[in-house]
Amino acid sequence: MSKSKAKDEEILQVLKEIKALLEPKPAPPAPSPKKGLWNEFIDFISKYKVLGLAVAFIMGMYIGQVVQSLAKDILMPLIGLAVPGLENLSTFVLYVPPPTGFDAQGNPLLNGAPWKGQIFGIGNFLVAIITFIIVAFVIFLIVKITKKWGIE
């Protein structure tokens, strides 16, 4: 009896396979109609939020200019007032080796001969560092405020 049951199971399996082969397959989905270049462009802008990115980039560029102007035109002169003898930090230079004097045109001299050392514009570097710190701090404040307001 178990042999006939096994045979029945085998026949049933073969019938299921035949039925699966005979059933019609679902039709593939119809290809979507061709989109025009304009519609593809609109989809691209909405999918990747390009417009928002462009606005953020332009705003960031101009806010950066405002903050740099704040640093160079307002805060740096204040630092110059706070440090006596350093009215314009960007003109601060370091001579290596130090010259022993200057000629009538202001060129450095070393023991009466034209000076052949190196000039390091440390003032410009310090201005760039201070400007960077100010810009980074302002951006930090902007991000902190926008997160507090729930703006992403």
Task: With respect to residue 6, please indicate whether it lies within any of the assigned structural domains.
Answer: no
Task: With respect to residue 26, please indicate whether it lies within any of the assigned structural domains.
Answer: no
pLDDT > 60? residue 1: no
- Paired residues of 110 in beta bridges: 113
Task: With respect to residue 93, please indicate whether it lies within any of the assigned structural domains.
Answer: yes
Give the angle 144-148-152 at the CA atoms, nearest 5°. Answer: 80
**What pLDDT band is residue 152 in, cutting at 50, 70 and 90?**
low
Mean pLDDT on 119-144? 80
What is the four-CA torsion angle of 56, 59, 65, 70, rounded to 10 degrees?
-110
Task: Calculate the average pLDDT of the chain.
Answer: 78
Domain that holds residue 91: 40-149
Task: With respect to residue 51, please indicate whether it lies within any of the assigned structural domains.
Answer: yes
Q: What is the reported pLDDT for 36?
A: 82
Task: With respect to residue 112, please indicate whether it lies within any of the assigned structural domains.
Answer: yes
Mean pLDDT on 51-79? 81
Residue 131 neighbours by CB distance under 10 Å:
18
For residue 73, the domain's CATH number is: 1.10.1200.120
Task: With respect to residue 49, please indicate whether it lies within any of the assigned structural domains.
Answer: yes
Q: Could you read off the pLDDT of 27-64 as tens digits, one per residue?
A: 777 777 677 888 888 777 777 777 778 878 888 888 88
Q: What is the reported pLDDT for 18?
A: 84
In the three-class reduction of DSSP (H, G, I as helix; E, B as strand; rest coil), residue 108 is classed as: strand
Q: What is the reported pLDDT for 86?
A: 60
Mean pLDDT on 61-73? 83
- Using DSSP bridges, classify how beta strands 94-96 and 101-102 pair: parallel, antiparallel or unpaired: unpaired
Task: With respect to residue 33, please indicate whether it lies within any of the assigned structural domains.
Answer: no
**What pLDDT band is residue 135 in, cutting at 50, 70 and 90?**
confident
Domain count, the chain: 1
Mean pLDDT on 132-146? 83
Start-end of H helices in 1-152: 2-22, 37-48, 50-69, 76-82, 122-149
Task: With respect to residue 9, please indicate whether it lies within any of the assigned structural domains.
Answer: no
